[in-house]
Amino acid sequence: MKFIDDVWITVQSGNGGAGCVSLRREKYIPKGGPDGGDGGRGGDVIFKTTTKRRTLYHLQYQKLYKAKNGAGGQGRNCTGKSGESLIIELPPGTLVRDADTGQIIKDLVDTDEVFVVAQGGRGGLGNARFKSSTNRTPRFAQPGEPGQTLRLHLELKLLADVGLVGLPNAGKSTLIAAISSARPKIADYPFTTLKPNLGVVRLGQREPFVVADIPGLIEGAHTGSGLGIQFLRHLERTRLLVHLVDVAAIDADHPLKHFETINRELNEYSPLLAGKRQLVVLNKMDVDWADDAAALFQDAYGKQSLMRISAATGQGLDELMQTLCNLLDQLDEVQAEEDA
């Protein structure tokens, strides 16, 4: 299931400026010819995709977006100034539809893609354009063309910035409920989650990001076992993986058993997926034996730092969200350097 963020907006490109009616009148040229300039072109409304935007959150309150009108022409064959175009930033993956017909206008998939959704009106011609051998002093000019007005339905078909992975009952649904507005079904048995839950996480004034609670994977998932390939496929489009480990289920004889099971499934499905940036988080640190279990895992895992949280009590969640924001910012910087 894809995350769809719906916004309905109206865009209006600028009107073209009117052409000018002017006859040259100077001290020693009392009956000069026509010199009315053309009107300026109206501004376009342009969509541009950028990784700076992860949701359509910034469009939810303003419903009308207007580009500037072109200025009218002037005498002495002066063309009017073109109207300034309006650039609206969108996250990659935004589908643009005509709100009245439902017809797809554009599917904006790539980063830094630019699309003119509404073209500004052409400026009208000044009377100098209409001079001829039979009409040497035309006293008329064209009005500017009106801009386009479109009602649009924007659908953000975005899989998460952050994907939560782990065995069933690792606490993914509890975590996404704790850090976002998502309200998934939560219970203490495997496979509570039968479809991905997505939540939007907001931290202060920073750009929100989307977290997906991917249904618990099991051994053989890459071949379709359990909930299978359909959910592994979703993970391919996430930018960062949070590997949630249930400390209450850590095996004292093989502390990394469950952790390695998930990573093996990711690698069998796609080495590219397994190579994604991964943040390891030990969950359920509120249980009595959590510290001992976490120490066993840490010793087996090595020197790399781990995060320890309790999604149920809120322990460590502020630090986790701050860490996720920082990691996403780092990935944005890397992407910007690669695109440069």
251 and 131, same domain (yes or no): no
Residues of the chain with pLDDT > 90: what percent?
49
**What integer pLDDT is reported at residue 232 of this predicted model?**
66
**What integer pLDDT is reported at residue 120 of this predicted model?**
97
Q: Tokens 């790539």 belong to which residue? A: 110
Highest mean pLDDT among 154-158, 213-217, 331-335: 331-335
- Select the more confidently predicted residue: 194 or 248: 248
249 and 327, same domain (yes or no): yes
Hey, what are 300's tokens?
């087996």
40 and 92, same domain (yes or no): yes
> How far apart, in whole angstroms, are the C-alpha atoms of residue 337 and residue 331?
10
Residues of the chain with pLDDT > 70: what percent?
86
217 and 313, same domain (yes or no): yes
101 and 194, same domain (yes or no): no
CA 334 to chain centroid, in Å, comes to: 17
The yes-or-no verdict on residue 93 having pLDDT over 90 is: no
Closest CA to 239 of 334, 148, 156: 334
**What integer pLDDT is reported at residue 191 of this predicted model?**
38
H helix runs in the chain, sequence order: 172-179, 229-235, 257-269, 271-274, 290-301, 317-339
Helix axes of 317-339 and 172-179: crossing angle, nearest 10 degrees: 80
**What integer pLDDT is reported at residue 233 of this predicted model?**
62
Which of 158, 185, 200 corresponds to the end of one domain?
Answer: 158
Which whole-number Å values give the CA distances from 122 to 27, 118, 143, in the listed order?
34, 12, 9
Which of 93, 125, 158 corresponds to the end of one domain?
Answer: 158
104 and 179, same domain (yes or no): no
**What integer pLDDT is reported at residue 168 of this predicted model?**
79
Q: Give the CATH number, domain containing residue 233.
A: 3.40.50.300
Residue range 241-253: mean pLDDT, rounded = 92
**What integer pLDDT is reported at residue 130 of this predicted model?**
94
107 and 254, same domain (yes or no): no
CB contact at 8 A, 38 and 61? no
- Total structural domains in the chain? 2
State the Cα angle at 323 between 340 and 273, rounded to 5°. 60
Strands 149-158 and 162-165: unpaired
> How far apart, in whole angstroms, are the C-alpha atoms of residue 326 and residue 335?
14
The yes-or-no verdict on residue 176 having pLDDT over 80 is: yes
Task: Give residue 108's domain range.
Answer: 1-158
The yes-or-no verdict on residue 258 having pLDDT over 50 is: yes
> How far apart, in whole angstroms, are the C-alpha atoms of residue 234 and residue 195?
11
Confidence of residue 208 (pLDDT cuts 50, 70, 90): confident
Q: Give the CATH number, domain containing residue 91.
A: 2.70.210.12
145 and 182, same domain (yes or no): no
**What integer pLDDT is reported at residue 230 of this predicted model?**
52
Which of 113, 135, 158 corresponds to the end of one domain?
Answer: 158
Hey, what are 340's tokens?
């440069």
The yes-or-no verdict on residue 159 having pLDDT over 80 is: no
| DSSP character string of 161-200 | SEEEE-STTSSHHHHHHHHSS------SSTT--SS-EEEE
167 and 136, same domain (yes or no): no
pTM for the predicted model, two decimal places:
0.60
> How far apart, in whole angstroms, are the C-alpha atoms of residue 15 and residue 120?
6
* Least reliable range by pLDDT among 34-38, 95-99, 291-295, 335-339: 335-339
84 and 103, same domain (yes or no): yes
**What integer pLDDT is reported at residue 284 of this predicted model?**
94
The yes-or-no verdict on residue 111 having pLDDT over 90 is: no
238 and 321, same domain (yes or no): yes
Q: Tokens 């986790």 belong to which residue? A: 320
Mean pLDDT (the chain, rounded) = 84
Q: pLDDT tens digits, residue range 218-246?
A: 444 334 444 444 556 667 778 899 999 99
**What integer pLDDT is reported at residue 181 of this predicted model?**
60
SS3 state at 136: coil
169 and 310, same domain (yes or no): yes
